Structures are given as structure tokens and as C-alpha cells.
Structure 1
């Protein structure tokens, strides 16, 4: 018995919770079939549960990309400008970067003001780093009147867009607190390009992508055979390389490519897999999932992500603990303000409890106990060894489900590309690049995810995989995308 200190009622409660969060082998197979159906639907036409968005990145990088370019990463609170030098050797680059805080007022200002502010930041960065570092100029002409080569920029823009080319993506809606007028329905690179030109800044926006496609591009620069780019952190998403002949909606938009060699090439697809099973018909759900969704601003959306990503693990843990406390099964039934405050508990607390090397029979390490009590806003005197054991059991159940779902999802995408699995070998493997704190820092999550993946595709196929950290896709990946010769010649 893993948690012998539990009372009979606590044991019964933990058994129920473990069952509610369980993902059985039958569930795994049902989820894989469901993902495959949703992938087919999303590749066939727009407006499906899985968006399956073409990235216009064709065949990935090969590691020989070389040159100096810029990357711009726009987030919810700041934007980051990077100067990245690709060395032309797989995985080798150097980077200088600077972050700029976005004033709250600009989030609701006209888009011209927001992009003007971003262009000013790029100009400031270039003054500090390009002119003073490499001797290049930022203005449109050199001192002798000759034209200066424009600096390429890759733009990581993690907002919903309708992408029509590598450098053309129309904003469909704002989120993350932005409501800037004059942007929805417009080509985002054009909005930035106009602001740059108005300031005579010698930069050309050559690529627009999101962070997941960036992870795919960054990984392909360092590793041949890259098939998947994965985000497993605060959020969760996957981009993968799909054969163009299997993207009907893309070929409908580009009929001249049908029956040409171009359709045998691969294109990066941003799955937006967080939306899988928004209808709630495939992935098992429990009362705590329902509570979390009911109180979220995006009800019935991102349902797969709500079971996997770091943003929600701490909140699910809080909801279960609060329920147990209210039923007098934990911490003497004491309900604190912290326990009643949504999203106050961080997912790092869950990972610390699950990864704690202390034998489960002893509950938790004193440091982890102290952190749990502090975050819960409780008095340590009311917590027993059994309480800590039960809390740890809850954390394990939530984290295990998250990891099993991630492993199941990755298995589904890999099995979609059986053609690549069939020709891969341990010496010439398929590469999966993963970015995010869940994979990088949460040891048990990583182990359970890999165990699930192996059990689904088999040890022989798993030996054909190389799983690597794909750090900074929003920076390096954007730079790689900006320098790649990846436009289909007939587009």
C-alpha cells in the first residue's frame, strides 16, 4: 500500500479520486482514434475542433541556415527583440536579446500605436546591438547613398491568425487583454512593416509564426528528421510536419499544386490541440474538470489543454483539496482564504509533491510540507502525516493523468505519420522537440509521458525516436523561419 498512514475514509476518498483521474488503456485507444478523426476533419476544412493550421514552413530547416536576423516575440505583458546569428552548423547560434514592457494603455489603443511602440523598441535594440556590434546600419540607405540590405525579422505572434503565406497572417481576434482597434482582419506583418517604414528602420518582416511552430523550426535547425514541435508548459500544443498531399483544405486554396511534385513535400501544421474534444465525448471527465471549466473565461474551450497544461494543474489540485477539506477529510476541515482563491496554487507545488523522493509512507519532505502549508494558508499544527499523504496522492493522480494524456496525444500524431516511422531507424531517428517546464523540470511527468508513448507505439518504434529540449522556439525558431528558403516556388 503506497499511503499506509491514511484513515479508512481517507483511503476511500483517494481511491475515488485516483479512479476519477485514471486514463485506462481503453481510454488511450479511444482518444487516439478521436484525435485521428479530428485531425482529418481539421485538415479537410476550416472551422473544425482541431484548427490544423498550415504554417507555410516547408520541409523544415536543415542546419545549414546562416546569417544574422532578428526575432520578435510578442507576449501578454512584454515583447522581446532578439538578434540571432545562425552559424550554418546544426544547432549552433548566438543571441542577444532585450525585453520591453508594454504599457497597459497600449493594449486598448489603436493598433497603429501598439505597432509603433514595438517598432520604436526594435529601433532602440538595433541602435544598441547592431550598429554598435556588427557595424550594420538601421536606416534605409548607407552613408554613401547605396541601399543597405534589409535585416530579416521573424515574428512570433501567439494570437489567433488566418495564415495565407509565411509572411501573411490576418488577426482573427485578440486575447491576453489586447483589444487594439484596426488590427482584426488585417495582415499582422503589414501592420508592423508600416510602422518600421514610417521610422525608416531597415527591417523586413519575412515570417509570422506561433511559439509551437517556432519550437518545430528551432528543433529542425539543430536536428535532422524533426517531425514534431511540442509545448508542455503553462500551455500545451503541438506542431508537426504533414505531407501536403494530405492537407485537402490547403490544396483547395492552391489547386495549381495538385498533381505536382510539391504535394510530396512536408509542411508544418499548427494543430492547436488544446481544443481537442471540446464536445466532451472522448476524454473522461470528472466533477473537478467541470468545476474548473464552469469558472473559466473560455468555457467549453481548450478542454484537452485544461487536463494537461501547467496553468491548470495547480487549480485542479486546489479544487480537489478544497472538496476534501469541506468533507472533513483533510486539515481538520479548516477552509482558508487561499483554498477558496482560484488559481492561487502554482503547478510547481504539484510537481514538488509528486517528485518528492521521500517514501510515500512518510508523506512529504519537511520543505515540501512547509511550502504546501504556506500556499494553502494553513497552520502546520492542524496537518497530520495522513493529511500530507492524502494531498500527495491527489497531486500524483492529477499529474499522472496529465502525463498520460500528453503521451497519448503524441502517440496519435506519430501514428498519423506511419510513413515516417516505417523508414526511421535508431541511427536516423525521428526527432521530437519539446519546450516547456512540465517536460523540462517535472521528472515524473516526463517519465510517465514516455512510458505511455512507449506502450502505445511499441519499444521498437520508440527506439526510432530522439526526444530533445527545443529551447526558445519563439526566438531561435522565429529566426530560423525568417532565414529559411521555404516558399513553395509556385505560391
Structure 2
């Protein structure tokens, strides 16, 4: 079973700072620590919110039916294309399914500039169509007899009306293109492909989390859920049609459907999550204040900024980096403390915290940092990183309990840099899940089997195009 490849986190050392530094650290330790009782309350609220979203429209957790019906067997075969849009890069992938859970992929990547992310949707679609066209030419597929089926991973909130139709409801993750919200991204992109005579038909609109579930399921048919724990966060899982009380679209080809939870919005009302003033500051200055609050506590895009907010608050109180001549220009800039710095800092097990020192020096130009300051920075990273993993555990346990996972167990595929590379992130999730599922605590890792589901947004989108094919043929 593929596991996360992250190193172990090295436990932080006692601060041993001034009385003021120690008091400050004691206070934020309380604010960022989620004990078992609180974690159980969060998990219970998560399940209630799931059920609300399944019953009625316009709930905080929207629980979107993905129109992906039934399950994969791992025996499917054929050529399918995938397009992945949802972060810094866009990717085009050609997937050849060989059966027996095996597949081959070829892909290309292109950067999505800040101008494109915040410009017009038409410009973005033109750019994407050009990228697909170039890729097909490179793969000698520009003159095919039949249009190639493409699964479009569009990693933003969409209200789907069919497997290949949907209306975008919002932008997240730093995107804010005009002329997109309220429209169908499939039609907008298909128009651009037609204008450029690219031989591709978009047969499935895919959320990256749904894709993660499918890419895991092609190799592990006992998969019940897929999660993204990376730049952003979300979860999808297999639901019984009888539980989707709001379903009004008639008979389906299967008694099961994948639900996209959009759990990044969980508890936007803030009745349950332990939101600190540092989180509030991040939220207030974000491009989507008051939205996606759960995502802002657990995602790679935000964790470094939460740490930076704590550090700069300490600087304002003369508790950190206040030596004469210390250069605090970089650390004072938004999003300058990256989550990747936290990974390096958390894995530092050297007695003198040489990696912490080097990270601060190289990336933030902070020099002559004393040992107490190194210990403080490491502890802040540990607090923010551990809280994120424990909150992720509440979501995973909520889904596992709702889907009635028993001792036979189930697989959960997880994609994303945080799960794969952040030190001890998976261990901390399992620790939280053992507290949340005490009946299974003795064997939690074999009952809720977390595993790295690589490339949900590529292979998973191609597999969704494949499921779409199966569904059309069975109707």
C-alpha cells in the first residue's frame, strides 16, 4: 500500500525563553490544541452537516451529487484524455487503461499565470484549448477518426446537472476569472476547442476529489472515499442513493453515487471550529473572507500564513526577532512564510536546529536568530501543523462513520502535497482517528486504510470519462 513519503516530525524542545515568551507560547498552545472531547464534538457536527447537505439544497456543506454512478472494477480498458485545472499549473494527460488495475499515462504541464487566474474566462479557455492542441500534436493524435473523450477536472465549486454539465458557483484557491460564475465551464471550454478545431469532446466534468476516489478505486475496489489534502482541501465518498434525500433527477444506473462534500466550507458559521485571532486575520485579508473556513485551517495554501501571523504578532510585542539590525522586511509580507518551510522546520531533529536556522536565513533573510527563537518558530509550526492534521482526522472519521465502515475496513485515497510530504501528517491523522473511532483504535490503520492516490485529477478524470462511457452505454 502506498503511504505518504514524509519524514517524521521531530518533537519540539521546551522553549526556555523569557517569562513573557513562555507565557505567550503557553497561551497559543491552548488556542491551537484540540483535545479529544473537542475533536469528537467537531466530528459529530461534521456528520450532522453532511446529513443536512444530503437532505436540502443551499446548506453550508453542499454535498454535491457528482452524477458518477456505480463503481469501478479495475478491468476497464481504453484511451482517455484528462484535463486538470485547479492550481498553479494546468495539465493535459493521456491515460491508457489496460485492465487489472493497470494503466499508462503521458502528460504535459503549463503554468497558469496570475493574469489568467484573474482575467476573463474566455482568455483562460483559449489558453487551455491551445495547450490541448499542442499536446495532441506531440502525441500524433491530431487527426483521429473520432473525437477523444476528455474528463475535465475543474477543481472549483460547481452545481452539476449531468455528468458532463454544471454551473460554476464560485472561485477558490486564488482564481477569480470574470464571466465564469453562473456559467457552464464545459460549454465555455468546448466552445474554445471547437473554435480551434481540436478533436476533443468533453464527456465528464470532474471534481479533483471525485477523481482521487476513482483513481484509488481502479486499483483498490474497496475504496469508499477520496480526499485532497494539498493546496486546498476537500472530500468525496460513495453514498447510497436512498440517503440523498434531495435527489430529484429520477432513476439512476446504480444504487450508489459519488458525493462531492465540498467540506472546505464546513462550519463557515464558526459554531464549532476553534478559530483563533490568527485565523481571523488570514480570513479577513483573503480573497474570499468568511468562506471556506475549514479549508483555511487545514490546507497547504494557508498554514504558512497562519504561522507568519503568529510570528509577526510576537514581533509586534517585541518577543521575537527584535535584535537591532534584524531584517524583517520579507517576513512582514503576506504569504512569504510558505508551508514548505514548515515541513523543513518540523523535520529538523538536530540539537541545534540547524535546518530551522537555515530556513529562516535562506528564505526570509533572518540572521543571528538565537536558540530560543528557533525553538519558538519550530513550536509554532508544530502547533499549526498538528491542528490541521487533527481537523482532517475529524472529516475522515466523519465520512467513515457515516458510510458505516466496519471491521472489514475500507480504503481511502488521499492526494495532495500536505498528506504526501508534510512530516508526520498521516501519523497525526491516525492518532486523531483512533480517538474518534475508539472501537477500532486497536487496528485503525488496517480498518481505515489511508493511502496515497496519485494523480486523482489526471487518471481520475480519465476514469470518470470511462464511467461516463459505461453509463451512456447502459442507458
TM-score, normalised via structure 2 length: 0.89
> Does the 8 Å CA contact 2:345/2:359 hold for their aligned counterparts?
no
Alignment of 1:77-476 (within 5 A): 78-90=89-101, 92-101=102-111, 111=121, 114-131=124-141, 138=143, 148-174=145-171, 176-181=174-179, 183-250=180-247, 253-256=248-251, 265-332=255-322, 336-358=328-350, 362=351, 364=353, 366-380=354-368, 383-418=369-404, 421-422=405-406, 425=408, 429-457=409-437, 458-460=440-442, 462=444, 463-476=446-459
CA distance in 2, matches of 1:447, 1:301: 29
CA RMSD of aligned residues (A): 2.5
Shift of 1:126: 1.4
Structure 1 residues 346-401: Cα deviation after superposition (integer angstroms, max 9, x where no partner): 1111122222222xxx451x133121234343222xx2211211221111111111
> Does the 8 Å CA contact 1:5/1:385 hold for their aligned counterparts?
no
> Does the 8 Å CA contact 1:43/1:52 hold for their aligned counterparts?
yes
In structure 2, the CA distance between the partners of 1:111 and 1:281, relative to structure 1 (3 Å rule), is: closer
CA distance in 2, matches of 1:375, 1:163: 42
The answer for the alignment partner of 2:3 in structure 1 is: none
2:139 counterpart SS class: helix
Shift of 1:138: 2.7
CA distance in 2, matches of 1:223, 1:348: 30
CA distance in 1, matches of 2:116, 2:386: 41
CA distance in 2, matches of 1:404, 1:98: 35
In structure 2, the CA distance between the partners of 1:445 and 1:478, relative to structure 1 (3 Å rule), is: same
CA distance in 1, matches of 2:115, 2:267: 36
> Does the 8 Å CA contact 1:309/1:402 hold for their aligned counterparts?
yes
CA distance in 1, matches of 2:123, 2:30: 52
Unpaired stretches in structure 1, ≥5 consecutive residues: 132-136, 140-147
CA distance in 2, matches of 1:255, 1:169: 17
1:239 counterpart SS class: strand
Structure 1 residues 19-75: Cα deviation after superposition (integer angstroms, max 9, x where no partner): 110101111111012111111111112211101111111223221111111111124
Structure 1 residues 406-429: Cα deviation after superposition (integer angstroms, max 9, x where no partner): 1111111111111xx23x52xxx4
In structure 2, the CA distance between the partners of 1:12 and 1:110, relative to structure 1 (3 Å rule), is: closer
1:193 counterpart SS class: helix
The answer for the alignment partner of 1:8 in structure 2 is: 19
The answer for the alignment partner of 2:74 in structure 1 is: 63
CA distance in 2, matches of 1:293, 1:104: 20
The answer for the alignment partner of 2:4 in structure 1 is: none
1:344 counterpart SS class: coil
Which shifted more, 49-58 or 461-470?
A: 461-470
TM-score, normalised via structure 1 length: 0.86
The answer for the alignment partner of 2:6 in structure 1 is: none
> Does the 8 Å CA contact 1:166/1:487 hold for their aligned counterparts?
no
1:6 counterpart SS class: coil
Unpaired stretches in structure 2, ≥5 consecutive residues: 1-11
CA distance in 2, matches of 1:105, 1:417: 42
CA distance in 2, matches of 1:120, 1:387: 50
